[in-house]
Amino acid sequence: MKTITFTVNGNPVTLDVSEDANLLSVLNDDLELAGAKEGCGAGECGACTVIVDGVAVTSCLYPACEADGRVVETVEGLVLESGSLHPLQRTFVDYGAVQCGFCTPGMVMSAKALLDKYPNPNEQEVKVALAGNICRCTGYTQIVEAVLAAAEEMKK
Amino acid sequence: MTRKEERLLPEVERAVRAPEELVVVGKRIPKSDALYKVLGQAQYIYDMQLPGMLYGKILWSERAHAKIISIDTSEAEKVPGVRAVITAQNTPEIRIGFMKDQPVLKKDKVRSFRDEVAAVAATSWEAAEEAISRIKVVYEDLPGIFSPEEAMEEGAPLIHEMDARGKELKDNRIRLPWKLVCGDLEKGKAEATCTVTTSYEVPAVNHCCMGTSACIASFDAGDNLTIYDITQIPSLAKADFLEALKAMGAKGRVRVITPTIGGGFGSKLDTYGYQYIAMLLSHRTKRPVKIVFTREEEFFATSPRQQAKFTITQGCDKEGYLTFREVNATLDNGAYISWGATTPSVMMMPMSSLYRVPNIEFKSTCIYTNNTWAQAMRGYGNPQATFAIDCNMDELAEKAGIDPVEFRRRNANIPGEETPQGFLPRTCGHRECLEAVVEKMGYEGRQSGIVEGTPKARGMGVASLIHVGGGAKIYRSDGCATSIKIDDDGWVDVFSGSQDIGQGLDTVLRQIVAEVLGFKPEKVKIHVGDTDTCGWDAGCHASRSTFVAGNSAKVCAEIVRAQMVANFAAQLEVAEDAISITEGEVLAQTDDPDKQVTKVERLLRRAHMTGRGNTMFMASNFWEPNNKLLAGDFHGNFSMAYTYGVHGVELEVDTETGQVDVINYVAAHDIGKAINPMLLDGQAYGGIMQGIGYALTEEMLFDKGKLLNPNFRDYKILTCLDVVPIEAIIVETDDPEGPFGAKGVGEPGLVPVAPAIANAIYDAVGIRLRRLPMTPDRVLEALWAKAGKAIA
């Protein structure tokens, strides 16, 4: 076991984790943040995507110990301080970008990592940023529309 | 009335309201649970934890076909945390599948790599896995059979020696005689001036639901089972589970509860071994037991769309009208029978009724092999069959010297004409869809072939679809139950037997009920997926839910609305027909200005709490569509409405790499009426992208029954980078039987994608690919073969 301290959605957390634990299991089981989902356990589907120090990572492959001293963001922390939805959450709802919803938390976090860094992406850049997040329901069209619309909204 | 007399139906009175009167129906309203999903708050089964819950793992067969000599579980039982180890030896036999050819835990022999041999429940996943690894099974190998051709050879080893009733089987053919005959095949052949015979092959493909298979089974002290499940068929699953309870000697009841489901696409239309194993483990340990598939298990141990081969001959006369269609299909069923063995029943639909063709013979055989056993997937047998039909249409058109689009124009379906199988499509927008696609694509002025100065060639192709859009009577009931209660605070609860698997039924029902009641949609909550509170439904399949559950909810809402109107009229002292309710306000035609507009909550409260009869507004309704079970010869009108569509694709083939890039996609669907155009677009986009995967990239690769690509690295489903520009055109024909004119649309988006792409590839480079997926290596091979032929 190793004791690690990191920030999750703005809150400091200290806990003991086993050396082989991945970040996803710590978020899901220890911190009861169920938003990030395990779709494959092999970093292939992106459903477990969270942001660590500004970078979107597949938390199922990310060693929990590596999170020590870092800043972790999950879908649960997206809601703005005002209590209203993050523009990405709003547009995902309004543009029909959500069907079964299993990929949604990871998809939204990949999109946030993109917009945080590049607030003005073109369509191709959005597609590249989301290429590691598999969705079987939507065919992606409305997801891409939602991300571009959120980027517009965030510029206002 | 004879079939001939019925052939042209009388004009049907349109019972739908004019579109301009609709307030909620027809609007782009977000999916009801999307908010919770973007917040990460939607609860899936993976997120659920029950007190005292154990974790279950399954030991899968290590052989494709073998006798089980012995199973030694003694070491597994010693693993700390293990609470139960079960095998066929220490549990009651439960048989599953509609032909009951499969015991849940295998006793004497295994017939595929996904056979369940033993299972463990433990206090952690790790302990369960450790215990599984310590179970020792001794097998004696039997010769394996991995293709229908081998399975049908004289003297081939039997995969099942006897059927569920103990009757000896002589060969590996499944006793389901799929044969459809319409008209007079010989007459059709005699009338043909041009015929083409071709063969096509489609692979096994996986549903790839993002949420893997999972359940939690829990027995209470009274032997009552609650199973948290991801089924698409809550009522039918409950019946299956009750039967298993009897086999287990448990006398209690069954409650099926479905939390949020991570995708369905047909994968959850049957019950599976793992659900019964969770039940057996829970019953043994008296604790809740959770089983969750890994992605690898999801790939190899769930039931895919099956491999199939078709040989099809079609003929047309001098004017280019089809005179006959003759098709033979062979299906690799795999080791046990699930709904995959019944996909020919749906293949019959396009075989008989896609395009106007009077004389038809369709035969299909399903064969046992030692491969994974098959299920239904989006479209059931329709995409497979349509690939054969609509590719052959192009090949026939070319031989007859007719443009492929013009050939389809001549043979397009028309409304009001009974099809040879006996379907009665009151609405049919096939021609409208075709013209819309042709116009939008600029088909007539297209330039096919090599793009100058590049190794790329461009082409366009089209294909059509018919699908059931008004239920599908495959059980004696194809109905759906709905209950509605309106509380005196103005909130509405709708309990529907149907199911939401992400497609948006929750939202469609909300819109229908809000429209009928005149309430704001946010006041209406849809409850599905709990067999204790929701009535019976035939399940989320056959694109039937909007139509059947929608009609059920609509009629139920009309009953409640009538109750309200009668009461409100009395309260406001006006006639009932002077009352209308819209967007949560009750409008009364009266000279009294105080009564002209009233908040509905106020009248609801007064109806309940002020002594005027103390009324609550509630109703239940079971709505059964007026469709018919197919007769013994498979003729009959088994759906109340039929959905049509035409897809057009423009693509580029790289003649150096074999890469196919779709550059433009146009899909027109006649869905009667769009209840929610945004969700409808989502069904089209999602279906088309799955279809492009089926056409170009997806294939389950087996080596002697063992799946070689059980992961997303090696099994290629499309990603965001593969998105193609799709124009989804909605053609509305206002079906007189549909709720507000709507027909079903869940499956159609996938159906004609592969043939449209195959036809476009031919248009681009003149090669005819008759096997899916059309991967770059197969494209190159065909290009080289063509070049070689030309040289010779």
Which domains occur in chain B, in start order? 45-142+213-292 (3.90.1170.50), 308-472+630-791 (3.30.365.10), 479-623 (3.30.365.10)
Token pair of A4 as six digits: 């690690």
- Taking an 8 Å cut-off on Cβ atoms, the answer to whether B717 and A134 are in contact is yes
Whether residues A113 and A151 share a domain: the answer is yes
Token pair of B654 as six digits: 């790289």
How far does B54 lie from chain A, in Å, by closest CA?
A: 15
Mean pLDDT by 10 residues, chain A (156 residues): 97 96 97 98 98 98 98 96 95 98 98 98 98 98 98 94
- Is B169 in contact with B160 (CB distance < 8 Å)? yes
- Is B467 in contact with B643 (CB distance < 8 Å)? yes
- Taking an 8 Å cut-off on Cβ atoms, the answer to whether B504 and A100 are in contact is no
Nearest residue on chain B to A80, alpha-carbon basis: B39
Which residue from B478, B539, B683 is spatially nearest to B231, judged by alpha carbons? B539
Question: B420 Cβ partners below 8 Å, 6+ apart?
Answer: B182, B183, B352, B353, B357, B358, B359, B360
Helix (H) or strand (E) holding B45: none
How far apart, in whole angstroms, are the C-alpha atoms of residue B589 and residue B596? 6
Strand B642-654's sheet: what is its strand order? B449-450, B456-468, B642-654, B660-670, B726-731
- Taking an 8 Å cut-off on Cβ atoms, the answer to whether B39 and A79 are in contact is yes
Q: Say yes or no: A72 contacts chain B, CB-CB below 8 A.
A: no
Residue A154: per-residue pLDDT: 95
Whether residues A91 and A53 share a domain: the answer is no
Strand B66-72's sheet: what is its strand order? B109-110, B66-72, B136-141
A22 falls within a domain: yes
A147 falls within a domain: yes
- Taking an 8 Å cut-off on Cβ atoms, the answer to whether A139 and B687 are in contact is yes
CATH of the domain at A8: 3.10.20.30
Q: Say yes or no: A128 contacts chain B, CB-CB below 8 A.
A: yes
How far apart, in whole angstroms, are the C-alpha atoms of residue B348 and residue B360? 10
Residue B2: per-residue pLDDT: 37
Q: Which residue in A38, A74, A137 is closest to B263 by CB distance?
A: A137
Longest dimension (CA), chain B: 95
| pLDDT tens for each residue of B360-394 | 999 999 999 999 999 999 999 999 999 999 999 99
Question: B517 Cβ partners below 8 Å, 6+ apart?
Answer: B486, B492, B524, B557, B560, B561, B564, B581
How far apart, in whole angstroms, are the C-alpha atoms of residue B592 and residue B599? 16
Residues of A in contact with B717 (CB under 8 A): 134, 136
Whether residues A99 and A150 share a domain: the answer is yes
Could you say which DSSP state residue A9 is in?
T
- Taking an 8 Å cut-off on Cβ atoms, the answer to whether A136 and B717 are in contact is yes
Give me the half-sphere count of Cα atoms (radius 13 Å) on the Cβ side of residue A129. 28
Residues of B in contact with A101 (CB under 8 A): 33-34, 36-38, 42, 260, 262, 502
Boundary-marking domain end, from A74, A95, A121: A74
- Taking an 8 Å cut-off on Cβ atoms, the answer to whether A137 and B719 are in contact is no
- Taking an 8 Å cut-off on Cβ atoms, the answer to whether B34 and A35 are in contact is no
Interface test with B, best of A99, A107, A145 (most B CBs within 10 A): A99
- Is B295 in contact with A40 (CB distance < 8 Å)? yes
Whether residues A6 and A29 share a domain: the answer is yes
Q: Which residue in B47, B503, B686 is closest to A139 by CB distance?
A: B686
Residue A156: per-residue pLDDT: 86
Residues of B in contact with A74 (CB under 8 A): 40
Whether residues A98 and A60 share a domain: the answer is no
Residues of B in contact with A105 (CB under 8 A): 37-38, 40
How far apart, in whole angstroms, are the C-alpha atoms of residue B292 and residue B289? 10
In this prediction, does ipTM exceed 0.95? yes
| pLDDT tens for each residue of B584-611 | 999 999 999 999 999 999 999 999 988 7
Whether residues A61 and A91 share a domain: the answer is no
A100 falls within a domain: yes
How far does A106 lie from chain B, in Å, by closest CA?
A: 9
How far does B136 lie from chain A, in Å, by closest CA?
A: 27
Whether residues A92 and A50 share a domain: the answer is no
Whether residues A95 and A37 share a domain: the answer is no
Whether residues A113 and A70 share a domain: the answer is no
DSSP A41-84: SSSSS-TTEEEETTEEEETTTSBGGGGTT-EEE-GGG-S-TTSS
- Taking an 8 Å cut-off on Cβ atoms, the answer to whether B38 and A98 are in contact is yes
Residues of A in contact with B260 (CB under 8 A): 100-101
Token pair of A111 as six digits: 């999109």
A80 falls within a domain: no
Instruction: Output the CA torsion sign for B509, B512, B513, B519.
Output: positive
Which residue from B354, B342, B543 is spatially nearest to B434, judged by alpha carbons? B354
A53 falls within a domain: yes
Q: Say yes or no: A55 contacts chain B, CB-CB below 8 A.
A: no
How far apart, in whole angstroms, are the C-alpha atoms of residue B691 and residue B152? 31
Boundary-marking domain end, from A53, A74, A95: A74
- Taking an 8 Å cut-off on Cβ atoms, the answer to whether B210 and A38 are in contact is no
Q: Give the count of domains, chain A.
A: 2
Whether residues A63 and A111 share a domain: the answer is no
- Report helix, strand or coil for B51: coil
Range of the domain at A127: 87-155
How far does B528 lie from chain A, in Å, by closest CA?
A: 15
Whether residues A44 and A66 share a domain: the answer is yes
Residue B610: per-residue pLDDT: 81
Taking a contact as any Cβ pair under 8 Å apart, which residues of chain A between 7 and 26 contact chain B? none
Boundary-marking domain end, from A48, A74, A100: A74
CATH of the domain at A91: 1.10.150.120
| pLDDT tens for each residue of B49-89 | 999 999 999 999 999 999 999 999 999 999 999 999 999 99
- Is A130 in contact with A100 (CB distance < 8 Å)? no
Token pair of B646 as six digits: 């035409």
Residues of A in contact with B37 (CB under 8 A): 98, 101, 104-105
A82 falls within a domain: no
Residues of A in contact with B295 (CB under 8 A): 39-42, 44-45
A79 falls within a domain: no
Q: Say yes or no: A44 contacts chain B, CB-CB below 8 A.
A: yes
Q: Say yes or no: A87 contacts chain B, CB-CB below 8 A.
A: no
Strand B579-582's sheet: what is its strand order? B579-582, B585-588, B597-599
Measure CA B337 to chain center.
18
Residue B20: per-residue pLDDT: 58
Whether residues A107 and A55 share a domain: the answer is no
**pLDDT above 70 as % of chain A:** 100
Residue B612: per-residue pLDDT: 66
- Taking an 8 Å cut-off on Cβ atoms, the answer to whether B295 and A79 are in contact is no
Nearest residue on chain A to B715, alpha-carbon basis: A44
Ranges of residues in chain B whose predicted pLDDT is under 50:
1-17, 791-792
